[in-house]
Amino acid sequence: MAGKVKWVTDIEKSVLINNFEKRGWVQVTENEDWNFYWMSVQTIRNVFSVETGYRLSDDQIVNHFPNHYELTRKDLMVKNIKRYRKELEKEGSPLAGKDESGKYLYLDFVPVTYMLPADYNLFVEEFRKSPSSTWIMKPCGKAQGKGIFLINKLSQIKKWSRDSKTSSFVSQSNKEAYVISLYINNPLLIGGRKFDLRLYVLVSTYRPLRCYMYKLGFCRFCTVKYTPSTSELDNMFVHLTNVAIQKHGEDYNHIHGGKWTVSNLRLYLESTRGKEVTSKLFDEIHWIIVQSLKAVAPVMNNDKHCFECYGYDIIIDDKLKPWLIEVNASPSLTSSTANDRILKYNLINDTLNIAVPNGEIPDCKWNKSPPKEVLGNYEILYDEELAQGDGADRELRSRQGQSLGPRAGRSRDSGRAVLTTWK
């Protein structure tokens, strides 16, 4: 069928619309017959909710998985990762190995986190072990840095105590649920400033897991110098790197937007720290992304009509260890600078090339295996089908440090997972 793809969106962003129009696709409304719907997270909830009984046909695809929140809600992500670790431990998998202090060797990539108010008592126990630590409170369902604050005293979160007589809110309501995580107060600083990494990961299917990493991620810098001093705990310009927050700072610059490319970061780290530790860092980053996806894969509704492009937020500490902070289902498509606009435009372009091959009317029955040429700026991060062909024990061997060859970080075989040393 050589018909034109019909698209709908409820997100009015030029980087999206320009991409649709350049493919000659036709815009329709959601009540008509559509092939491609780029929807916001609210809409996906309605589409797949039990009440509406919406049935997607074979020539319709959408940009979210029905229960993406298993990965993208802060509390569920942590829950799934904890469950995944326990499962591996029960199986006796070497991946779940621990060190002398009981910390996971390979799977310790999420800062210690508790759900509030459910885990309040557990949290207090942990807090008392290191009373000088700082913790970060994040509302489960919000984004863009909204509602986040730092605490270093128990009194600051008395509200969430289950025994609290003054607790007046309905603790069962999802909206008021918070997670509290150990704050990473030793982030890697460059030029004295804190930054985090935003990486884009496209998942076309969870079972078998097939995911792609966008090569052009970026670092978001705070405009103010970092200080762990307690007097600045309230200054969100020091601590939160979200552009939505930073762009209201006095020093926000609209030309570069406080952003660096990941390749700049790489150059800087290689020049000042050396190539091995830099390669190891990037390897670890890829590892934690894949592990997080593997953790939610069993509970994810692997609907064949779906694909999803996630925004991963990662912080690197001063020992060059990466930490997974959160995963966003609806990464911002707003552009803060000219470079930004180009990057996001290309991101959507490459995403569409993979999700809707040849720009033709989709057929959900296809095997979701795009040829290498259409990847654009994406690289295969992990392909479970290919990996299984290689034998699972390679996975552990490289994790334990035996390199697979002179270029452990970059495999040269075409079509293989380019970014992983482990299969």
Partner 1 sequence: MLQEESDLSLIIAQIVQKLKGSNLYSQLERQAWASLQRPEIKLESLKEDIKEFFKISGWEKKLQNAVYSELSVFPLPSHPAAPPEHLKEPLVYMRKAQGSWEKRILKSLNSMCTELSIPLARKRPVGEQKELLNKWNEMGTDEPDLSLFRPVYAPKDFLEVLINLRNPNYENGDSLSFRTHLGLIQVPLKVKDIPELKECFVELGLNIGQLGIDDSTQVPPELFENEHVRIGQKVLAEQDSAAAQQYIRQGSPTALRAELWALILNISSQPEDVLYYEQLKTNVIQHDLLVDSLIYKDVKLTASNDDYYFVFEDYLYQVLLCFSRDTSVLSHFAYNSASPPKSYIRGKLGLEEYAVFYPPNGVIPFHGFSMYVAPLCFLYHEPSKLYQIFREMYVRFFFRLHSISSHPSGIVSLCLLFETLLQTYLPQLFYHLREIGAQPLRISFKWMVRAFSGYLATDQLLLLWDRILGYNSLEILAVLAAAVFAFRAVNLMEVTSLAAAEAVLADLSTLKKT
- Kindly state whether residue 186 participates in binding partner 1, applying the rule CB under 8 A: no
Q: With respect to partner 1, which residue has the nearer C-beta, 138 or 259?
A: 259
Question: Cα separation of 120 and 178, whole Å?
Answer: 11
| The only residue of 123, 178, 221, 378 in contact with partner 1, by rule CB under 8 A | 221
Least separation in angstroms between residue 274's CB and partner 1 is: 5
- Kindly state whether residue 191 participates in binding partner 1, applying the rule CB under 8 A: yes
Q: With respect to partner 1, which residue has the nearer C-beta, 101 or 229?
A: 229
10 Å CB burial of residue 311 (0-12, 13-18, 19+) is: buried
Tell me which residues in 270-289 interact with partner 1 (CB under 8 A): 270-272, 274-275, 278
Q: Give the residue carrying structure tokens 């800062």.
A: 111
- Kindly state whether residue 412 participates in binding partner 1, applying the rule CB under 8 A: yes
**Stretch binding partner 1 (CB under 8 A), from 107-115, 119-127, 209-217, 265-273:** 265-273
Q: With respect to partner 1, which residue has the nearer C-beta, 22 or 225?
A: 225
Q: With respect to partner 1, which residue has the nearer C-beta, 204 or 278?
A: 278
Binding string to partner 1 for residues 144 to 183, with x set by CB under 8 A, is what? ----------------------------------------
- Kindly state whether residue 405 participates in binding partner 1, applying the rule CB under 8 A: no
Cα dihedral sign, 239-244-249-254: positive
Instruction: Say if CB 64 and CB 301 are below 8 A apart.
Output: no
The closest of 47, 43, 85, 44 to 296, measured between CA atoms, is 85
∠ CA 416-417-421 to the nearest 5 degrees?
Answer: 115
**Stretch binding partner 1 (CB under 8 A), from 9-17, 126-134, 186-194, 285-293:** 186-194
Tell me which residues in 244-263 interact with partner 1 (CB under 8 A): 250-251, 253, 255-256, 258-260, 263
Q: Cα 11 to chain center, whole Å?
A: 20
* Count of residues in contact with partner 1, rule CB under 8 A: 30
Strand order in the sheet with 135-139: 113-116, 178-182, 135-139, 149-151
Which stretches within 202-308 are classed as H helix? 236-239, 243-246, 262-273, 275-296
10 Å CB burial of residue 31 (0-12, 13-18, 19+) is: exposed
- Kindly state whether residue 373 participates in binding partner 1, applying the rule CB under 8 A: no
Can the peptide bond before residue 117 be classed as cis, meaning omega within 30 degrees of 0?
A: yes
- Kindly state whether residue 264 participates in binding partner 1, applying the rule CB under 8 A: yes
Tokens of 349: 């372009």
Least separation in angstroms between residue 231's CB and partner 1 is: 14
Fill in the amino acid letter for 129.
K
- Kindly state whether residue 319 participates in binding partner 1, applying the rule CB under 8 A: no
- Kindly state whether residue 192 participates in binding partner 1, applying the rule CB under 8 A: yes
Q: With respect to partner 1, which residue has the nearer C-beta, 230 or 400?
A: 230
Q: With respect to partner 1, which residue has the nearer C-beta, 135 or 260?
A: 260
Per-residue burial over 161-192, b if 16 or more Cβ lie within 10 Å, else e, is beeeeeeeeeeeeeebbbbbbbbbbebbebee
Least separation in angstroms between residue 223's CB and partner 1 is: 9
Question: Cα separation of 386 and 172, whole Å?
Answer: 43
Given the rule CB under 8 A, which residues bind partner 1?
Answer: 190-193, 221, 224-225, 250-251, 253, 255-256, 258-260, 263-264, 267-268, 270-272, 274-275, 278, 339, 406-407, 410, 412
